[in-house]
């Protein structure tokens, strides 16, 4: 899908605050509210906008431990990769799962209530998992930056 300057402005604003009304959005991007609504609907239908979510502060809801875990599987068979990815999608502690290149196959970003919850997750999901050859983990000491915004650039004359 080709994005124009208005689409980029709309996406930039919605990544900052997805609760903007069409009227508020129209003031920022200089389109009518109806045009903004049509464009947002088109971006959703095209799969450019994939979710409208609220970002929750983990510490405010009793989730005090975050970790990054690198995982190597025993094999690279497609069915093993699919099984691991399905389990990762189903595990509420797994906030992100990335299939990566290099010495490990996956990187997981975890959020757990506490060390006991983290230990239970490791045993259930990794230590006792026959698909997993090995893993290593880093416990987060302090959140410096988190986000989910995608950096967007205005289209150039060649791409507009």
Q: What is the pLDDT of residue 47?
A: 97
Mean pLDDT of the chain: 94
Query: Is it the case that residue 148 has pLDDT exceeding 90?
Result: no
The full set of domains in the chain, from first to last, is 5-45 (1.10.10.10), 59-139 (3.30.70.920)
Convert the pLDDT of each residue in 12-56 to its tens digit: 999 999 999 999 999 999 999 999 999 999 999 999 999 998 889
For residue 157, name the pLDDT band (cuts at 50, 70, 90): low
The b-or-e profile of 135-147 (16+ CB within 10 A means b, else e) is beeeeeeeeeeee
Rounded alpha-carbon distances, angstroms, from residue 150 to 57, 95, 117, 153: 20, 17, 31, 10
Question: pLDDT at position 1, please?
Answer: 87
Nearest C-alpha neighbor of 95 from the set 81, 112, 82: 112
Spatial separation of the C-alpha atoms in residues 95 and 10, rounded to whole Å:
26
76 has a pLDDT exceeding 80: yes
pLDDT at 159 over 80: no
């Amino acid at each position: 899908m080709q994005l124009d300057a208005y689409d980029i402005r709309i996406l930039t604003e919605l990544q900052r605050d997805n609760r903007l009304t069409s009227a508020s959005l129209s003031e920022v991007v200089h389109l009518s509210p109806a045009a903004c609504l049509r464009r947002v609907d088109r971006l959703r239908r095209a799969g450019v906008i994939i979710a409208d979510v609220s970002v929750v502060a983990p510490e405010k809801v009793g989730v005090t431990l975050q970790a990054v875990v690198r995982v190597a599987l025993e094999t690279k068979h497609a069915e093993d990769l699919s099984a691991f990815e399905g389990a990762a999608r189903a595990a509420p502690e797994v906030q992100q799962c990335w299939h990566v290149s290099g010495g490990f196959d996956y990187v997981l970003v975890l959020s757990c209530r506490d060390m006991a919850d983290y230990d239970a997750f490791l045993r259930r999901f990794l230590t006792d998992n026959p698909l997993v050859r090995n893993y290593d983990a880093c416990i987060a000491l302090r959140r410096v930056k988190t986000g989910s915004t995608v950096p967007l650039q205005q289209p150039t004359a060649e791409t507009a």
